[in-house]
Amino acid sequence: MNITFWILMILLLLLAIGMLVYPILKVRQSAALAYKESNLKINEDKLKELDLDLKEGRIDQAFYKAAREELDRELLIDIPAVSKETSAEHYSGTAKRHPALALMIAVFVPMLVLLLYLELGMHSAGDESFVASQKISQQQSTAQPSVEEMTRKLEAKLEKEGGTVQEWTMLGRAHKYSGNNELAAKAFAVALEKDTENAQLMLERAEVLALNNNRVFTAEARELVLKASALEPDNANTLWFAGVAEYQAGNFEKAINHLLQLLPQASGEEEVMQSIVSIIAKSRQELVAAGKEMPELEAMLGIKAPMVSSPVQKPAPATATVATGTAAANTRLQIAVDVNEDVRRKFDANDIVFVYAKAQQGPRMPLAVQRVTLGSLPATVVLDDSMAMVEGMNLSAYDKLQVSARVTKTASAIAQSGDFIGQLNVDSNNA
């Protein structure tokens, strides 16, 4: 907005005020002139009557002269002589009789116009600004490339110039994210050519090959998994992939061995453990159906598979109060769980705390699991037989139990570096 606009607006306001005020003054002036003309007309009529009376002899010359002088005198009294001075006094007096009207026109009309402009004009400008900002936002969002576009650009760059292992891995994951498993497998293959001993890349390529084959590991995918297993035999992902791949290949004993080794690492996540136990149970059934003698599932799960070392730290032990019945009755543990201030400072209130019970001697899989948040502590957590994942593998089946509380930032069922674990041994016979 510039000075020209304001000048034009002021001129228009003055013009509008003049157009409003002038007719009012004009009406006053016209009314005064009409009054003057009316008196003159009356005087002229009376003068004509005198002339007619004199002519017809109804009055003499002396009476006529006296009456004529009286008419002139009345005219001078009713209608003063018109001059610049008398005219100015007449019209200023007329205007002074209505000062409020002049004030309203001269002051309030410009104010009203200005207020209307500020209300309507600024809203309009605001709407225009909003529309403009919306257009800019849309243009910016349009300008931001989609995942597919970024993937195409990265793919074109790598095909033209080549790239690092990280870039090809990124391309493979982008294709996997978009559901293009075949292209993802090709990208991971190039990455593996550049880093032939990368177990993680082997698992990622094996996974997309299986996804592209209705979730069934192909011979190549299984070979990649077994190679990764040889490189990182204790890796949880490797153990899971190897167990599933061997199960699908019909190597049920190998599948059981891999998954039994994985089971202790999965303590704390019910769904993961159920999947592991399910494949172990199915593998056992296949072996039994083939005529092979196999121990009961409970006994298999009770085999002491070697606990994979996990660099976890142990804070002050958790405390627990236990309420149990006999071994035959339902066992119910009430665990009072809390952590010290050192642990709280290293974790967030929303971080997960897994509370679970295992047999001190027996299966390494948890018999009951509960999950709470660090912010909810101190709290009393209840574990009972209803939480058993396998029939017969419950708290009541064992006298000596080990209760653990694990604080983790990752919420993973498998113990990770940086987790904190507190443990407490419980003997139901002494409860």
Residue 188: alpha-carbon gap to chain centroid = 34
Same fold flag, 148-301 and 321-430? no
What does the block give as tokens for 422? 């507190």
Q: What is the DSSP string of 247-308?
A: HHHT-HHHHHHHHHHHGGGGTT-HHHHHHHHHHHHHHHHHHHHTT-----HHHHHTS-PPPP
Could you state, in order of their start, the residue ranges of all structural domains in the chain?
3-80, 148-301, 321-430
* CATH fit for domain 148-301, picks 1.25.40.10, 1.20.1740.10, 3.40.1390.10, 3.40.50.300: 1.25.40.10
pLDDT at 77: 56
pLDDT at 320: 38
Neighbours of 93 (CB within 10 A): 11
In the chain, what are the helix, strand and coil shares in percent, each to the nearest 5?
65, 10, 25
pLDDT, tens only, 13-25: 677 666 666 665 5
**pTM of the full structure:** 0.45
Q: What type of residue is 166?
A: Q
Query: What does the longest C-alpha to C-alpha distance in the chain come to?
Result: 167
pLDDT at 121: 53
Nearest-angstrom CA–CA distance, 330 and 395: 8
pLDDT, tens only, 358-392: 877 766 667 778 888 888 888 888 888 777 766 66
- The low-confidence residues of the chain, meaning pLDDT below 50, are 27-31, 80-97, 122-126, 128-130, 141, 143-144, 303-328
Q: What type of residue is 61?
A: Q
Burial class (CB in 10 A: 0-12, 13-18, 19+), 262: buried
CATH number of the domain located at residue range(s) 321-430 in this protein: 2.60.40
User: Any residues with CB less than 8 A from the CB of 260 and at least 6 apart, and which?
Assistant: 280, 300, 301, 303, 305
SS (H, E, C) 335-399: EEECCCHHHHHHCCCCCEEEEEEEECCCCCCCCEEEEEEHHHCCEEEEEEHHHCCCCCCCHHHCC
